[in-house]
Amino acid sequence: MPKVTKRKARKTESSDEETTDQPVITVVDKTPKKAVKRKASSSVDKNAKKVSCTNEASTLEEATQELEDQEVQLPKTMTLKTSSRLSPKGEKATLKLVSWNINGIRGWLSNGGLKYIEQENPDVIGFQELKCDKEKIPNNATPTGYKSYWLSGDTAGYSGVGLLTKIDPIDVKFGIGNAEHDTEGRVITAEYDKFYFVVSYIPNSGRKLVRLGYRQQFNEAFRSYLTELDAKKPVIWCGDLNVSHQSIDLANAKSNTKTAGYTQEERDDFAKILAGGFLDSFNDAKNLIVKQFYSLDYLLVRHLYPEERDAYTFWSYFRDARTRNIGWRLDYFIISSRLQENLCDVIHQTGVYGSDHCPIVVLLSFV
């Protein structure tokens, strides 16, 4: 039986008002041993790049059609999972990375998002869907000990990605170096000593798949970008990738084959990236059928969680989908295959609220 401890959360300030009823934190250890605690390094604030605040049509056709304009009642508790699983080399995790689609940074702040960072204490965290201009992001969105990097697009309130890091990056780049695909604020890349960390918010194909063509063009350009990075040093790619790769990755696969996020085209494009030397850290997507894999449903060897079902990261607010766990796995950590020996664990923090997505965590060992 996992050990459970309870902590009472303190009061936290949001961008608009003070939130007095903060979540109570419950920490659940997934493994018999205690998780390794990490100490924050001292750091400084630093901001970078472009434009304003409202709502992206998030458009998983079935899942989000009535999401806008709903008032969301969030639970007053937060349950964190921890893990002390070792890497294949028998080494403890030394690096904790987080990815989270926060569905609007102002709402996330007012819903106690900073409390999660305080409790999780990641070394680096990547955000998607800021829905806010960099110039308007509240100062308290950068916690003490982190440097921040923000990117927004040319359309006000649409998309946007961000990065908080306690480790000083060698370099940070915005976009993928392709003018056609760098106007929507979708990619930040931080270079570290032993890897590239890529935060992305992949385009949604939209209701009635109106952007599927553009999505496929972006996928191809992005695949080339990752391949170029991987030739220099290993890549850790995270974000809301807006695709459920296999039928096990969403609750209602049969009824969603023509829905954004589960079309054959999107799944094939994702498989093509994985086939270029990358693996899905949660489910190791190794294709066992060597022929025309673009048109096949995949037979896969699963890596960390071979029988894990109902493991979702996105739930619509519509019809109480999260409580019923009617969801999609849209959020991933994809790593260069040669980092497999460094991989300790992947955690879906499904007990953390504040967005229609939950945060995901990858634990790695770099000695």
Look at residue 48 and tell me if it is in a domain.
no
> Using one digit for the tens of pLDDT, what is the confidence trace for 237-291?
999 999 999 999 999 999 999 999 999 999 999 999 999 999 999 875 333 333 3
194-to-145, 147, 190, 310 alpha-carbon distances in Å: 21, 19, 11, 33
What's the token pair of residue 346? 């992947």
Identify whether 11 is part of a domain. Answer: no
Residue 268 resides in a domain: yes
> Has residue 307 got a pLDDT over 70?
no
Establish whether 201 is a catalytic residue: yes
Domain extent for 209 = 95-280+293-364
Q: Please indicate, yes or no, if residue 254 is contained in any of the structural domains.
A: yes
Q: What are phi and psi of 208, to 5 degrees?
A: 60, 20
Taking Cα atoms as reference points, which of 35, 137, 62, 89 lies closest to residue 314?
A: 62
Task: Give the residue ranges of the annotated binding site.
Answer: 101, 129, 240, 242, 356-357
Percent of the chain whose pLDDT exceeds 70: 74
Average pLDDT, the chain: 82
Which CATH number goes with the domain that contains 302? 3.60.10.10
357 catalytic per annotation: yes
Q: For residue 68, what pLDDT is reported? A: 38
Distance (Å, rounded) from C-alpha 325 to C-alpha 323?
Answer: 5
pLDDT for 112 equals: 93
For 164, residues 6+ apart whose C-beta sits below 8 A from its C-beta are 117, 122, 124, 125, 127, 142, 143, 146, 147, 148
Rounded-to-integer distance, Cα 310 and Cα 84, Å: 23
Residue type, 75: P
Round to whole Å and give the CA distance between 276 and 266: 16
Cβ–Cβ under 8 Å, residues 18 and 72: no
Distance (Å, rounded) from C-alpha 278 to C-alpha 259? 26
Residue 59 domain-assigned (yes or no): no
Q: Active site residue: 158, 196, 201, 332, which one?
A: 201
Give the predicted TM-score (pTM) of the model.
0.80
Please indicate, yes or no, if residue 82 is contained in any of the structural domains.
no
45 is known as an active-site residue: no
Instruction: Return binding residues for Mg(2+).
Output: 101, 129, 240, 242, 356-357
More confident residue, 68 or 114: 114
Give the residue, 310 or 9, on which the prediction is more confident: 310
Is residue 102 within 8 Å of 130, Cβ to Cβ?
A: yes
Instruction: Provide the pLDDT confidence category of residue 66 given band limits of 50, 70 and 90.
Output: very low
Evaluate if residue 99 carries a pLDDT over 90.
yes
Number of domains in the chain: 1
In a domain, 70, yes or no: no
Give the active site residue among 123, 240, 249, 345. Answer: 240
Q: Does the pLDDT at position 19 exceed 50?
A: no
133 located within any domain: yes
Query: What pLDDT was estimated at residue 37?
Result: 45
Helix, strand, coil share of the chain (percent; to 5) = 20, 25, 50
